[in-house]
Amino acid sequence: MSIIDAQESTLYHRLAESLAEAIHNGTFLPGSRLPAIRRCASSHQLSINTVLTAYRILEDRGLIEARPQSGYYVRGQLPSVKISGDRQAKVRSPGSEKLELIEAVFAAQNHADYTNISLACPQNSDFFPTAKISRIMASLLRREPELIGRYALPPGSQRLRREIARRSMDLGMALTAEDITLTHGCMEALQLALRAVTKPGDCVGVETPTYFYLFPLLASLGLKVLEIPTDPQHGLSLDALELLLREKRLQALIAMPNVQNPLGCSMKLEDKKRLAKLVNQHKVPLIEDGLYGELQFCWPLSPAVKAFDSEGWVLHCASFTKTVAPDFHIGWIAAGRFSEELARLKSVSSLAESRLLSETLGHFLASGGYDHHLRTLRRRYAAQLDEARGLIARHFPQGTQATQPSGGFVFWVELPTAVDTVELFQRLLQEKICLTPGALYTLSERGNSALRLSCCYPFDERYTWALKRTGALACELSGLDAGIM
């Protein structure tokens, strides 16, 4: 690509992103006409071809449509999910039926012959910097072959922890390498955090819906689950949480304030500050799952709750499995006042992370390539989420709603109540399509007509066919036609 071609590519992508943001924030309403191509080119001092390419990108994303002899118009948008279901915080336990369903979904997600539209892990090397990671690892092995012969005892690689601490500043956290312990992915970080701050019989607050694997994890540790109402746009209900804290009904809390899974929403800045103040005031540990924090679509990134933690009651967990190298399975935790206990638990569980993999990742972060990689991922996921929502608007039953994620690649879809998404899941398995029914993400009845979709796959013919086929079957189960009413 020539320098001129590269500049043009940057210009039309920049224009497309600017217009997409204007559509999302309501500057251009559904049904409204975009500026004519010549007018847009003149006002932005761009070529007509650049503007036309930007409009075609938005058309591919399902945000606009061309009308012959008329111009480009904003498509009717998929309605956003509204608060529904039980708004009371209740203590519940996952029954055997729920746990069996989780196992069935896991088995289907790992089936190589199935088209997966729900697994929250990119399945293509295009989403990862594999070539650069491979070069760094090969170079390290040539220069330091002894790496594979030495343990990296807790807290883990100094180089990697130093780079994590440096990067944590983007999320408002003032950490040092000594504040961080490396873990075997984010799930181990969450498990160690729970073991550090709770004992069997304690009650742990979770968002609803929440990441479904928390239910078997909490059950395995003998912990009770208290689901707290969660807004699809703004996150955890702090009023409900404050009442629970005052009544001393919680011994710990797990939450995803940035890019919540499965909703995709992020809490407002003032709400994060209030959340940090509440847990510090009541001395109740908050285990903050920051897995998707660096995949926020906004820049600068919205801070983590840990950024406002005055007395060390927030344990921040994250990993690189969604952004760099899933197979490395390297995560980390900044455990605040619980750091010593966390390091002890790590020593008696999985002991150590791979020194070779940790050093490789540390060198990659230090090289500066990670920031470029993240910018590329954010643009791609934002575009694919738009395209998926456009397909849902056209092919799913009338009345379908979906969240508008603030980052990442997963979102929540609520279908008409006539659709049982567990039945939809089972019917689609017969056609070798795997999705995740919403019933996995809550112990209430709210998720029975919902599902989580993932956009971390190439949007090829196979994926789009599976999404359209899911919509067609949902229409059949609901007795409704496809498309926005």
pLDDT per residue over 42-61, tens digit each? 989 899 999 999 998 888 78
Does residue 399 come out as left (phi exceeding 0), alpha (psi in the -120 to 50 range) or beta?
left
Spatial CA neighbour of 360 closest among 347, 349, 369, 350: 369
pLDDT of residue 69: 76
What distance in Å separates the CA atoms of residue 165 and residue 117, rounded to the nearest whole number? Answer: 34
Distance (Å, rounded) from C-alpha 227 to C-alpha 246? 16
The owner of tokens 């603030």 is 406
Q: How far is residue 368 CA from its own chain's centroid?
A: 23
Which residue stretches of the chain have pLDDT < 50?
1-8, 85, 485
State how far the Cα of 81 lies from the Cα of 392, in Å rounded to an integer.
13
Measured N-to-C along each axis, helices 96-109 and 421-429 cross at an angle, to the nearest 10 degrees, of 40
State the distance between the two ends of the chain, measured CA to CA, in whole angstroms: 44
- pLDDT value for 282: 98
- What's residue 7's pLDDT? 44
Whether the Cβ atoms of residue 24 and residue 61 lie closer than 8 Å to each other: no
Please report the sign of the dihedral spanned by the C-alpha atoms of residue 24, residue 30, residue 35, residue 36. positive
Residues 363 and 140 sit within 8 Å (Cβ to Cβ):
yes
Judged by DSSP in three states, 65 sits in strand
101: its two tokens:
């369903």
Q: Which CATH class is domain 3-74?
A: mainly alpha
Q: pLDDT tens, 197-242?
A: 999 999 999 999 999 999 999 999 999 999 999 999 999 999 999 9
pTM of the entire predicted model = 0.88
For 208-276, the three-class secondary structure string (H helix, E strand, C coil) is ECCCCCHHHHHHHCCCEEEEEEEECCCEECHHHHHHHHHCCCCCEEEECCCCCCCCCCCCCHHHHHHHH
Overall size of the chain counted in residues? 485
Q: Which pLDDT does position 343 carry in this prediction? A: 92
Q: Does the N-terminal peptide bond of residue 300 adopt cis geometry, omega within 30 degrees of 0?
A: yes
Taking domain 90-125+375-478, whether its CATH number is 3.90.1150.10 is answered by: yes
Measured CA angle at 33 (ends 74, 72), to 5 deg: 70
What pLDDT is recorded for position 5? 43
Q: What is the CATH number of domain 129-370?
A: 3.40.640.10
Structure confidence at residue 8 (pLDDT): 47
- Cα(236)–Cα(207) distance, rounded to whole angstroms? 6
235-236 and 224-231: which strand pairing?
antiparallel
Prior bond to 155 cis, omega within 30? yes
Provide the residue ranges of all domains of the chain, joining segments of one domain with +.
3-74, 90-125+375-478, 129-370
- Using DSSP's 3-state secondary structure scheme, residue 17 falls into helix
pLDDT at position 255 is 98
